[in-house]
Amino acid sequence: MRWSDGSLTLFPDVDAHGLHSQITLVKPGTLWQHEVGMTAGRYTTDDHWPDDLIVRWSDGETTLYKNINSTGLHSEVRLNPANSTWTHATSLTSADFAGTNESDLVVRWSDGELTLYQDSGNSLGTEAVLATASGSSLPYYRR
C-alpha cells in the first residue's frame, strides 16, 4: 500500500479479519510520492519470492520490482523510460490472462483503449489491443 507521505507498506497476511503484519518497505518522503499506479503479480519465473510489482510513475516511466519480501524492494528493472504515452495509462491490473503461468499486464488508457502485455517479466512484451478507444465505454470507468 502506498501512503500519501510516499511510504510503501506490505501486508503479507490478509484474511477475512483484515490486514495483518504491516511491513514498511519504503520510508516516507521518497520518490514513491510520484507513483500513480501499481499492480502486483508473478511476472518473473525465478520463483525466489511469490510476488513482483509493476509501478507507473507520474512521468510515464514504468518499473518492475522483482521478488518483493519483508526486507524491501529488489532488482529494479525499467520496463519503459519516462515518456508522454505512459502518462495516459490510468489503470493497471495483472493476472495470468494468457494461461502461461506468468502474470500479464493489462492497461486501461485515458482514451478508453484496453491493452494486454503478455509475460512482462523483463520487458513489456508484445502489446495486444483488447478494446479500442472508439465506441468504448471504458473512458467513463473510474477505479
Quote the radius of gyration of the chain (alpha carbons, Å): 15
Q: Is residue 23 part of a domain?
A: no
Task: Please determine, for residue 140, whether its predicted confidence score (pLDDT) is greater than 60.
Answer: no
Q: Is residue 57 part of a domain?
A: yes
Residue 96 banded pLDDT, cuts 50, 70, 90: confident
What dihedral do alpha carbons 109, 112, 113, 119 form, nearest 10°? 50
Model pTM above 0.75: yes
Q: How many separate domains does the chain show?
A: 1
Q: Is residue 55 part of a domain?
A: yes
More confident residue, 122 or 114: 114
Q: Is residue 49 part of a domain?
A: yes
Q: Is residue 59 part of a domain?
A: yes
Domain that holds residue 122: 35-140
Task: Please determine, for residue 47, whether its predicted confidence score (pLDDT) is greater than 70.
Answer: no
